[in-house]
A = this chain, B = another copy of it.
């Protein structure tokens, strides 16, 4: 544990995926709602471009970290694809949080003002 650190070059991908996975962990359902959730919860600080969000969800699904399922729209209602973390996704989320903590623990002393 706490071995691998997030490398700067993968920070963007990692941060966005973590935001998505954490939102799903909180119970967010489909993509569009997830985007609203993140925006609202962050007070507008974090916003997902749809052209960014959907590829992320597809990527995570392909890697088996989230499972998507189309809602049954026989009783009317818009088509939606709901996502949930898989068991592997839960583990990955824990590991990614730890990787970020570790990254920051290492990164900050490197850029902090000299005393």
A59 proximal to B (CB < 8 A): no
Give the residue among A25, A38, A97, A110 with the most B Cβ atoms within 10 A.
A110
Report A65-90 residues with CB < 8 Å from chain B CB.
none
Contact B113 A97 (CB under 8 A): yes
**When chains A and B are docked, how far (Å) is the Cα of A98 from the Cα of B5?**
22
Say whether chain A's binding surface is mostly helix, strand, loop, or mixed: helix
Interface size on A, residues (CB 8 A): 32
Q: A106-B42, A110-B41, A114-B26 are in contact. Are A12 and B19 (CB under 8 A)?
A: no
* Residue in contact with A110 in the complex, picked from B9, B10, B38, B112, CB distance below 8 Å: B38
Q: CB-CB < 8 A to A46: which residues of B?
A: 7-8, 106-107, 110
Q: CB-CB < 8 A to A21: which residues of B?
A: 111
Contact B42 A110 (CB under 8 A): yes
**When chains A and B are docked, how far (Å) is the Cα of A5 from the Cα of B110?**
19
Q: A15-B11, A106-B45 are in contact. Are A22 and B111 (CB under 8 A)?
A: yes
